[in-house]
Amino acid sequence: METLTAVRGFKDILPPETQLWRHIEDTARKVFSTFGFQEIRVPILEKTDLFTRGIGESTDIVEKEMYTFHDRGEESLTLRPEATASVIRAYLEHALHTSETVTKLFTIGPMFRRERPQKGRYRQFHQIDAEILGPDDPRTDAELILMLIQFLRTLGLNGLTLDINSLGCPECRPAYREAILGYLHGQEEQLCSDCRRRLKTNPLRVFDCKVDLCGQIIGQAPRLTQFICSGCRDHFAKVQQALKQFELPYCLNDKMVRGLDYYTRTTFEVTAGSLGAQNAVVGGGRYDHLVQELGGPDIPGIGFAIGFERLVSMIPEGIPLTPPALFIAALGEPALQRAFLIGNRLRCGGIIVEMDHAGRSLKSQMKKADRLQCKYTLIIGERELQENRALLRDMSASTQEEVCLDQFEEMFSNRAR
Ligand code: HAM
C-alpha cells in the first residue's frame, strides 16, 4: 500500500531539532518578559473578513495565498496567514484596552500561506510575533527593535542587517500615491496584470512585485521619503536617534514597502545574507490605524514577526543536547531486569538515564553509551549480579570502580546532584 506523506509545503519538525525550537522559544519568553511582554494564544482559524480587512485586499496574501474554506456552507473561515490581525481581534474582543493604556503581547505558533514552496518558504511556517498596542511615541519603536536585536544576539546570531523605512501616514500618502500614478502613467501596459490591478487599489504594492520588468520600472519611481509630512519625518528622525543611542546599526531602505497594507510610519526588516533568496527573517512595523479599521477605538500599534524556520536554519550547529548522566549496560535477562528497575527509578528522580532492553552484546552497548556521550556507564554482568555488585565506568576519565548494586541508586543520585 502506498505510504502517506505530509502535505506539500507542510513539514515535520523532528528531534533533535525540536530541542533547538524549544531553546529558541524559551529564549524569546525570557527576553520578551524582561521588556514587559505577556504571552497570548489565539486560534489558528478566524473569520475570513478579519484578514481581508486587516491585511488588505490588494496584498499577495489575501489575493492568492490564504487557505479559505466554507465551514459546511455556513461561514467563510481562513487559516491564519499571520498573527497581528488575530491578536488585535482578541485585544478588542476582550476589551484589554480598557484596563491598560499600554498592552504588550507576544505569541508563538504556526501560520499558513499557500506560497510556492522553496528553501525557507513553506505553506505552514511558524512565527514568533510581538505587538505593542497603545503608545505611538518613537521611543516605543526603538524599544521594540532593541528587544528584537537583543533576542537575536542572545541566540548568538551575527551578520544580520536591520533595514528601516517610514511609510508615512494617511496625511502624506495620498500625495505620494498621485506621484506614483503620475510616474507610471503611460507605462501601465508594461506592468504585469497583478500590478495593473494594484494601481487601482494600492499603487505602493508595485514595489513588492517579483516580476523583473515591474521591478525595473518601479525602481526609478519617486520615493515616499520625499513626500512624508513633517510629523512623520520628525517621528522617523527620533526613532533613528534612539536606535543610535543603543548603537544599533541600521540601513535606510526606502524601497521597503512590506507585504501587508496596514503599515504606517516606521517599518523594518531583518535580513541575513546566509538565507539566500528568502532572506527576511523578521518583518515588522507600526500600524496606527489597524485597530480602528478592525472596529476598535483609535489606538496605535507596532509589532514584528520572526520566521521560526528561517531563524532555525541560521543556527546550523543547533544547541548541544544534554547527554545522559548514566548508561546501564546489562548482560543476560536477570541483569536486564535489574537495569530496568534501577534505570527507571533514577529517571523518576530526575536523572537522565539510557539503557538498551534488547540484550545486545556488551561491546555494542558500550558503543551506544559512547555515541550518546553518557558521563557514566553502569555495567551489570551475570556473575556480578549474583554478588550484588557492578562496575561503574567514568566514560571521559576511562576509570572504573566497583559499586554495590543495593546502594547504587542512592549513591548515584547524590553524585549526579
Ligand atoms: P511578514 O513579513 O509577512 O510579516 O512575515 C514575517 C516573517 O515571517 C518573514 O520575515 C519570514 O521570516 C516569515 N515568513 C513569512 N512567510 C513565510 C513562509 N511562507 N515560509 C517561511 N517563513 C515565512 C507579518 O507576518 C506581520 N504580521 C509582522 C508584524 C507583526 N507586523 C507588525 N506586527
Please determine whether the domains at 17-172+228-313 and 326-416 fall in the same fold group of CATH.
no
Tell me the one-letter amino acid at 18: T
pLDDT at residue 133, as a whole number: 98
pLDDT value at 316 more than 80? no
17-172+228-313 classified as CATH 3.30.930.10: yes
pLDDT value at 338 more than 90? yes
Residues 229, 139 contacting (CB under 8 angstroms): no
pLDDT at residue 205, as a whole number: 83
pLDDT at residue 202, as a whole number: 83
pLDDT value at 381 more than 80? yes
68/77 Cα distance (integer angstroms): 6
pLDDT category, 189, cuts 50, 70, 90? Answer: confident
Q: Which of 82, 118, 257, 287 to mutate to test the pocket of ligand 1 (most atoms within 8 A of CB)?
A: 82
Q: Which tops the pLDDT comparison, 417 or 113?
A: 113
From the CA of 305, how far away is ligand 1's center (Å)?
A: 6
pLDDT category, 185, cuts 50, 70, 90? Answer: confident
Q: Which of 11, 111, 268, 312 to mutate to test the pocket of ligand 1 (most atoms within 8 A of CB)?
A: 111
pLDDT > 70 in the chain, percent: 100
Q: Where are the alpha helices (DSSP H) in 185-302?
A: 193-201, 212-219, 230-245, 290-293
From the CA of 290, how far away is ligand 1's center (Å)?
A: 17
Helix, strand, coil abundance in the chain, percent, nearest 5: 40, 20, 35
302/304 Cα distance (integer angstroms): 7
Its pTM surpasses 0.95: no
Residue whose C-alpha cell is 559512547: 370
Q: Which of 42, 310, 312 to mutate to test the pocket of ligand 1 (most atoms within 8 A of CB)?
A: 310
242-297 pLDDT tens trace:
999 999 999 999 889 898 999 999 999 999 987 777 789 999 999 999 999 999 99
pLDDT at residue 280, as a whole number: 94
From the CA of 153, how far away is ligand 1's center (Å)?
A: 20
From the CA of 97, how far away is ligand 1's center (Å)?
A: 25
73/71 Cα distance (integer angstroms): 5
Provide residues with CB under 6 Å of ligand 1.
Answer: 82-84, 113, 115, 121-122, 125, 127, 129, 131, 259-260, 280-285, 303-305, 307, 309-310
pLDDT value at 321 more than 90? no
Question: If you average pLDDT over each of 18-22, 110-114, 159-163, which comes out highest?
Answer: 110-114
Which residue has the CA at smallest separation from atom 21 of ligand 1? 121
326-416 classified as CATH 3.40.50.800: yes
pLDDT at residue 312, as a whole number: 94
DSSP state of 118: B
68-82 pLDDT tens trace:
999 988 899 999 999
Q: Where are the domains of the chain?
A: 17-172+228-313, 326-416
C-alpha cell at 236: 522617523
From the CA of 319, how far away is ligand 1's center (Å)?
A: 24
State the average pLDDT over residues 360-371.
94
